[in-house]
Amino acid sequence: MNMKIAVNQTMAIKRIVAGIGLSVFLFSFNIQCVDAQEDKQWISYAPNEGPGSGKHIVLVSGDEEYRSEEALPLLGEILARKHGFKTTVLFAINPETGKVDPEYQTNIPGLELLRNADLMVIFTRFRELPDEQMKYIHEYLQAGKPVVGMRTATHAFNYKRNPDSPYAKYDFQSEQEGWEGGFGRRILGETWIDHHGVHGEEGTRGLIDGIEEREDHPVLRGVRDIWGPTDVYGVRELEGDPDVLVWGQSTSGMTPKAGVNLDKSIMPVAWTKEYTSEAGNTGRVFTTTMGAAADLESEDLRRLLVNACYWALQMEDDIPDKSDVSIDGPYHPTMFGFGDHKKGLTPSDFK
């Protein structure tokens, strides 16, 4: 916001509301500042009517490869427009340009919004955030609030620049006692292991767990057909007594009609669990190793994620038989790959 214009607007508003009271003026001024800040550094979706009324979901993007900066605005819009949640999407921002830059690993403005968030959806990769930003994620987890992790969130953090940070234990290769495997293993259930499928050649066919389906697990409600072009991630041994909801079978090709590769074993690709913070608070967790922007062309994967948000918020009784995850308008996601992100855009360009 141009400072001269802002001052003139402020004085005008102040004269208008002089007879109403200073509190109204301050409220109006605050709204202007929030809107200006949002336009530059993050985006929010106002909720329509729906079960999510009164709940705020903060979605944290920031990965170099799988286009989380495109996936999370889509998910945020669906949650707001179709289900009544207020949603805010955060981005990796290059402070020198003010543009969205997923390759800039040390800045995600707006994490302070987690203080009043009801749910964090995180899709980051190898971030090393400054302590003054990272503390908000740490405080959120200490409070035992719920988490939905997508794809590279298993290796969300990588501390190479500042290994003495109090948050270096979040590193995906952490060896600190109690934090082995970092945020991924401690909170989500697994850290980065490897590509089980052939990266860039094989996709993932989601196999719904038959036992969980028969028991009508609410996250699986209305979910039948999942396919995505990203390959199956390797999983060693899930931490925290998880319930595997979807298994991943590699496909011999990167189209929905590609047959499955029966020479490869299946791996967990979506599960639920709980974590307990160092403060003794417990929160629900849903993790999927799918979720790239291109994966979200799968309607039932979008439905799985929306259902997971309900479940994480302990709103499973409100999950419809078939959650509305329709996309309003065109959705043409950028295929995953390094260096292929849309350049020169601000957060509002993704709305």
Q: Could you give the count of Cα atoms lying within 13 Å of 16 in the half-sphere of its Cβ?
A: 11
Question: Is the separation of the CB atoms in 159 and 128 below 8 Å?
Answer: yes
At 39 the pLDDT is 56
What is the maximum span of the chain, computed from C-alpha positions, in angstroms?
Answer: 76
- State pTM to two decimals: 0.89
**The total number of residues written for the chain in this structure:** 351
CA-derived radius of gyration, the chain:
21
Burial class from Cβ neighbours inside 10 Å (0-12, 13-18, 19+) for residue 263 reads: exposed
At 38 the pLDDT is 57
Question: Is the separation of the CB atoms in 71 and 150 below 8 Å?
Answer: yes
Segment (H or E) for 99? strand 99-100
| pLDDT per position as a tens digit, 218-240 | 999 999 999 999 999 999 999 98
**Which two three-digit tokens encode residue 223?**
């979910």
Q: Which of 214, 194, 219 is nearest to 289 (CA)?
A: 194
- Give the chain's residues under pLDDT 70: 1-39
Q: How far is 289 from 270, CA to CA, in rounded Å?
A: 7
Instruction: Find all residues with CB under 8 Å of 125, minimum gap 6, and list them.
Output: 62, 63, 64, 65, 66, 68, 152, 153, 155, 156
DSSP state at residue 188: I
Q: Could you give the count of Cα atoms lying within 13 Å of 280 in the half-sphere of its Cβ?
A: 0
DSSP state at residue 184: I
In this structure, the dihedral spanned by the alpha carbons of residues 95, 101, 106 and 111, taken in order and rounded to 10 degrees, is: 80
**Which two three-digit tokens encode residue 175?**
């060896």
Q: Which of 276, 255, 267, 260 is nearest to 335 (CA)?
A: 255
| pLDDT per position as a tens digit, 129-165 | 999 999 999 999 999 999 999 999 999 999 999 999 9
